Structure 1
Amino acid sequence: MKWSAIHLLTFIGLTSCVTSELTGQGLDIAFLMDGSGSVGADNFIVMKTFVKNLTASLLEFNTSFAFVQYSSGTTIHVNFHQFQRTGWENQVDSISQIGSNTYTAGAIQTVVNDLFDSSAGARPNAHRILIVLTDGQSSDTSTYPSATALADRKNITRYAIGIGNVFDSQSATDELRSIASSPESDYVFKVDSFEALDKIISSLVKRITVIEATVMRRQIVRVELQVNLTFDLNNTVVQDEILNQIKLKLQEQGLPSNTKLSWIKQPDGQIFHKKYNEKSVKEQKKSKDEF
């Protein structure tokens, strides 16, 4: 005896639970600001304003921030633990320019080792982002390979922002590429002046929030899904075969292979019912099947 699709769909419900591994939780974002003498006092203030504007644009997300300055040495002014969600603007305003030379590679090493660490408030499951601002080429370029390799091992995404016409040269542009993550089209920015920094805020926010959206999609998700499927069944078809067909249909729709399926039982414990509540062909022997 064949069962029509309409009878099957009248009495069967399917619940799908989609679960994926929790691989990230929020964003830890560090700003590495060029405080060398070539920046100039006024431009340093403009750079801090850019840092504040970008921070303000990202506060609504699950973010934490740190503010670091480098020249000949590196100073962590505010680490992730010290960041204040209600007083962070004053924290940035209080940073005074150091002056001196530009040692960008060494600064990256310091940030990777000392800032992106639990002792500095870095969250173990957060996606790590480093934004490097510079107005010129570094005095320690030979250190870049080891510095960026160390950052890669810690899964730190790096944005490089070159400020000024010095980055019209190929060698300076190549240095930005060596700082940034790949591909360079996503992680290297060049602006003509410090005043032009605000023009790239929108692009940076979009790039960074794409990372946040990806992190959120990777978190555990529970979905209740009512699925309408059509089968041509007869009384020789067993429940396992039905589940196998359902699995194939779900996979065709793009659901991941770790989707969990379960039957919705009727009050009398039966799955299939003939019209007018006649007894089912098979009694339920499985309440859940996973794959």
Structure 2
Amino acid sequence: MGIVVLTMKASVIEMFLVLLVTGIHSHKEMAKKSKRPKFTVPQINCDVKAGKITNLEFIVKCPAGCQESKYHVYGTGVYASCSSVCGAAVHSGVLDNSGGKILVQKVAGQSGYKGSYSNGVRSLSLPRWRESFIVSESQPKKGVTYPSTLTYSSSKTPAAKADETTKAYQKPSVPGTTAQPVTLMQVSADQEAEAAHTTWAKSSLLAPSSSSSPRPQPMGRRSWDTGETDLQKPQPALLDTGFLPKEELSTQALEPVSQGDPNCQVDLLFLIDGSSSIGKRRFRLQKQFLANVVQALDIGPSGPLMGVVQYGDSPATQFNLKTHMNSRDLTAAIEKITLRGGLSNAGGAISFVTKNFFSKANGNRSGAPNVAVVVLDGWPTDKVEEASRLARESGINIFFITIEAAIENEKQYVVEPNFANKAVCRTNGYYSFNVQSWFSLRKTMQPLVKRICDTDRLACSKTCLNSADIGFVIDGSSSVGTGNFRTVLQFVANLSKEFEISDTDTRIGAVQYTYEQRLEFGFDKYHTKADVLNAIKSVGYWSGGTSTGAAIHYALEQLFKKSKPNKRKLMILITDGRSYDDVRIAAMAAHQKGVITYAVGVAWAAQDELDIIATHPARDHSFFVDEFDNLYKSVPKIIQNICTEFNSQPRN
């Protein structure tokens, strides 16, 4: 019995010791855990720039809504440190507009930053900047400790400064007085400028605050209307003025000025509705829409340029393409536009633009597509179809944005039913937007910007003079003679002069033939008008027989087989006699391959052969002159027929 008792006691003691040791170990483990610092991801606002944070590598949390165009981003992939951290994260695709955590790493400054449009954010181009950063998903690296609190280049964090702007500062009590709260006006100017970032885009839409305490203004800012200071005059809310305080203007002046997005080099016009029916409120929404487009486009001399024409009874140019060369100046100019009033004569406005706006004097660039966006409240009070057709034929890409279109009982007042489809380049909906209300207009901004910048699909930029590959097939047979051959070359040069020649516009090639054929130069050889004309002048006379059919086959293989898919293919053949071989099969091959063939005969050329070679109808593509010295007379008619045929083809 005693042995059993002793055994039980030993077991109890052993159990107690095990519990004691386990408890001590657990206590130590808890103590270790409690000593390990817990990592807290710091939060930042959408407008915080990477350059303001001195940490070289950190993880932060971005809020939702950083896709807005007001948060400037410079670069693609690698971003200049003057960029919004969260805006860059959305642009790169690491975040969507709902926000989240990201890893930020500082890298060296770059010699150039390329702008682009990605994930709803337009990043801007920049020549150079002193520091860069990259963003990635918030996957912490092993062995790397990330800060829970960020270090900023100024003494106080944006959060602390923002807190100062929302709380009244209590002055120390002076004996015999009562401490009074001091408003934001007494906080230093640079603290206020960094505390909150106010943009024009918001200011033009928000109404004055209904709070019992109006938002305090920067001290001593003078009114734009009178000479009074703010302290002498009751003030509305800052956001309703449409202007920024001096302090913010001074900080904006330090922003790098972009040269524009080279991926969107277009000459853009907005035709805005200034009719009486629109009213001041909707006119303000229209201006806000323009400002949003400007911020998304990245205006600059190397990218898009933009002007504005306002129409009512009659059109008036508010500013042309070269008046404002960056987004900031353009936005400020839009704010100053005032409503003209009158009818909605959009057709007359389009005619005005065709004749006057897209000129070199107004800043038009020959290599940039011309785009006109017509904004219309309801429906036009005049006809737009004929005016728009002439505009399209001059190479203007017309977009129509129709807001609050006519309802059933209003359709009787519409001068030209289905006017939008009659006005634009294509009837597939690509060039027209029908918006239900002015408050929905902002939703068209991103698709519109994307289409404006997609220059490959701007069909109306292609005119009869800048959209062809033209191959001259020149008879160098013995019957022509040296002197007449020089006259033929002058005729070829006179035709070539009429076209806009470059690698992306019209290209010129030439083949000379006798019994044999020779490629004088191909479409990809010369890219300027001067070089093409010199090349034509340098062609040497060959002399020999006349095998026109073989020459057409040769031109199809050596010239037109290398034509670009989006180019019209024109063959202009010049001969002075009947061919020694059959031209029928060769001509049929050219027509089947989509080569538009013009046949020009001189002296002893056979009219029946010219008609076979020429594209149907022969009367528009076949020409004859009795002697070489009269060739020059055919130039205007040939150019006219080329353009008439081009403009008669459906663009839809």
Report the TM-score range of the alignment, normalised by the length of the smaller protein.
Answer: 0.5 to 0.7
Q: Please tell me the residue identity of whatever aligns with 2:602.
A: I
Q: 1:20 to 1:40 in 2, by over 3 A?
A: farther
Q: Tell me the distance in 2 between the aligned counterparts of 1:153 and 1:55.
A: 25
| 1:148 equivalent in alignment to 2:587 | yes
Match for residue 483 of structure 2? 42
Corresponding residue SS for 1:106: helix
Tell me the TM-score normalized by structure 1. 0.63
Q: Note the aligned Cα RMSD (angstroms).
A: 2.7
Alignment counterpart, residue 179 of structure 1, candidates 613, 633, 636:
613
Q: Is the 8 A contact 1:58 1:205 kept in 2?
A: no
Match of 2:515 in 1: 72
Q: Is the 8 A contact 2:599 2:621 kept in 1?
A: yes
In the TM superposition, residue 173 of structure 1 has moved relative to its aligned partner by 1.3
Q: Does 2:500 align with 1:56? A: no
Question: Are residue 191 (structure 1) and residue 625 (structure 2) matched?
Answer: yes
Alignment of 1:1-291 (within 5 A): 12-13=404-405, 16=420, 19-20=426-427, 26-59=467-500, 62-85=505-528, 86-118=530-562, 122-141=563-582, 144-164=583-603, 166-167=604-605, 172-214=606-648, 218=651
Cα distance change on mapping 1:79 and 1:197 into 2, 3 Å: same
- Report the 3-state secondary structure (helix = DSSP H, G, I; strand = E; otherwise coil) of the residue aligned with 2:492: helix
Structure 1 residue 36 displacement after superposition: 0.5
For residue 198 of structure 1, report the CA deviation from its aligned partner.
0.3
The Cα of 1:82 is off from its aligned counterpart by: 0.7
TM-score, normalised to structure 2, is: 0.29
Aligned AA (1:77):
E
**For the Cα contact (< 8 Å) 2:501–2:507, is it kept in 1?**
no
Q: Does 10-19 or 186-195 show the bigger shift? A: 10-19
Paired amino acid for 1:158: T
- Provide Cα deviations, 1:219-268, integer angstroms capped at 9, x if missing partner: 7xxxxxxxxxxxxxxxxxxxxxxxxxxxxxxxxxxxxxxxxxxxxxxxxx
Residue 72 of structure 1, CA deviation? 0.9
Distance in 1 (CA, whole Å) between partners of 2:571 and 2:494 is 16
Moved more, 109-118 or 95-104: 109-118
Contact 2:489 2:536 in 1 (8 A): yes
C-alpha spacing 1:90/1:183, structure 2 compared with 1 (3 Å): same
Amino acid of the structure 2 residue aligned with 1:109: H
Q: Distance in 1 between matches of 2:560 and 2:638?
A: 21
Task: Quote the Cα distance in structure 2 between the aligned partners of 1:99 and 1:16.
Answer: 57
- Distance apart, 1:212 and its partner CA: 3.7
Correspondence for 2:28:
none
Q: Is the 1:44–1:97 contact (alpha carbons within 8 Å) kept by the matching residues of 2?
A: yes
Q: Output the CA distance in 1 between the equivalents of 2:540 and 2:572.
A: 19
| 3-state secondary structure, aligned to 1:37 | coil
Tell me: CA distance 1:59–1:79, structure 2 relative to 1, closer, same or farther (3 Å). same
Note the C-alpha offset of 1:205: 0.8
Q: Per-residue deviation at 1:67? A: 1.3
Tell me the amino acid that sits aligned with residue 591 of structure 2: D
Which shifted more, 53-62 or 109-118? 53-62
Q: Deviations over 1:257-283 (max 9, x none)?
A: xxxxxxxxxxxxxxxxxxxxxxxxxxx
% identical equivalent positions: 29
Q: Which amino acid aligns with 2:624?
A: K
Distance 1:60 1:211, change over 3 A: farther
Shift in Å, 1:12: 3.2
CA contact (8 A) 1:27 1:212 kept: no
Query: Counterparts of 1:177 and 1:20 in 2: how far apart (Å)?
Result: 36
For residue 38 of structure 1, give the secondary structure of its aligned residue in structure 2.
coil
Tell me, yes or no, if the aligned pair for 1:109 and 1:147 is still in contact at 8 Å.
yes
The 3-state SS of whatever aligns with 1:108 is helix
Aligned mates of 2:539, 2:587 — CA distance in 1: 26
Residues 24-48 of structure 1: CA distance to partner in whole angstroms, max 9, x if unpaired? 9511111111100110000000110
Over residues 64-94 of structure 1, what are the superposed CA-to-partner deviations in whole Å (9 max), with x where a residue is unaligned? 1111111111111111011231311110111
1:59 CA displacement: 2.8
What stretches of structure 1 of length at least 5 have no aligned partner? 1-5, 220-291
Give the SS at the match of 2:612.
helix
Give the AA of the match of 1:156. Answer: V
Amino acid at match of 1:68: V
Q: What CA deviation, in whole Å up to 9, does each residue of 1:75-118 have, x standing for no partner?
A: 11111011231311110111101101000000000111221023
Partner amino acid for 1:82? K
Kindly indicate whether the alpha-carbon contact (under 8 Å) linking 1:34 and 1:134 is maintained by their aligned counterparts in 2. yes
Higher relative contact order (CA 8 A, sep 6+): 1
Query: How far, CA to CA, are the matches of 2:527 and 2:501 in structure 1?
Result: 14
Distance 1:194 1:179, change over 3 A: same
Question: Structure 2 vs 1, CA of residues 20 and 60 (structure 1 numbering), >3 Å: closer, same or farther?
Answer: farther
